[in-house]
Amino acid sequence: MLLFAGLGNPGRGYVGNRHNIGFMAVDAIAAQHRFPAFRPRFQGQVSEAVLGGERVLILKPETYMNESGRAVGEAARYFKLDPKQVIVFHDELDLAPGKVRVKVGGGNAGHNGLRSITERFGNDYSRVRLGIGHPGDKTLVHDYVLGNFPKAEKAWVDTLCQAVAANADDLVKGDTTAFQNKVYRAMEAAGFGKDGLF
């Protein structure tokens, strides 16, 4: 079994925020792979199905970003998962918009959702880092991540989330290189490659 945890803040006021791209990505996975409707559990919303031959639980914590570890930790303990079975999808300031990188462990780079998970669960889980870019000044970060993606960016956000969903089975198999390459090619094919966002 694997746990896919998408990070974000609950509530209508946060739906379009850059900070919520983790929710957007797992919603796309659930929709594209026909997961059942989300239901409340583990201090969040969950949906479960078989993906790539593996049982996958998608979790969207409703504890707010800074307490994401409460929900992720509860679900992981219930199913007796170790960190290698947990994949977290989150916004990444240090990547250009539309870029994706997967890594295991490492620092949290000031991301409070990751910090919360690490505090409660250890650091050796996988992170799917979804690039949102940086505002250029750290004093602007708070308003930037809690601001909505402007209309002009909706196309690349949707393309990215759909590409992540289309290739989620590579994450299940542990083939992160194939996953990253396929997402990159999908973005490039949609016009968001070297002459676009990157």
pTM of this structure:
0.96
Residue 198 lies inside a defined structural domain of this protein: no
* Percent with pLDDT over 90 in the chain: 92
Predicted confidence (pLDDT) at residue 96 exceeds the cutoff of 70:
yes
Give me the pLDDT at residue 110, please: 79
* CATH number, residue 177: 3.40.50.1470
pLDDT at 194: 63
Which pLDDT belongs to residue 108?
81
Assigned domain for 196 exists: no
Residue 197 lies in a domain: no
Contact criterion met (CB below 8 Å) for 93 and 126: no
Is 111 designated active site?
A: no
pLDDT, one tens digit per residue, over 26-73 is: 999 999 999 999 999 999 999 999 999 999 999 999 999 999 999 999
Q: Considering the domain boundaries, does residue 124 fall inside one?
A: yes
Residue pLDDT, tens place only, 15-29: 999 999 999 999 999
Instruction: With respect to residue 168, please indicate whether it lies within any of the assigned structural domains.
Output: yes
Question: What is the pLDDT, as a whole number, of residue 195?
Answer: 59
Q: With beta carbons less than 8 A apart as the criterion, state whether 23 and 7 touch.
A: yes
Quick one: pLDDT at residue 115?
Answer: 96
Any domain includes 31: yes
Q: Confidence class of residue 109 from pLDDT cuts 50, 70 and 90?
A: confident
Q: How far is CA 54 from CA 90, 145, 173, in A?
A: 22, 33, 9
Q: Is residue 195, in this structure, part of any structural domain at all? A: no
Domain count, the chain: 1
Range of the domain at 101: 2-189
Residue 114 sits at φ, ψ, to 5 deg, of: -65, -40
Residue 194 domain flag: no
* pLDDT over 80 at 118, yes or no: yes
The residue among 32, 50, 5 whose CA lies nearest residue 167 is 32
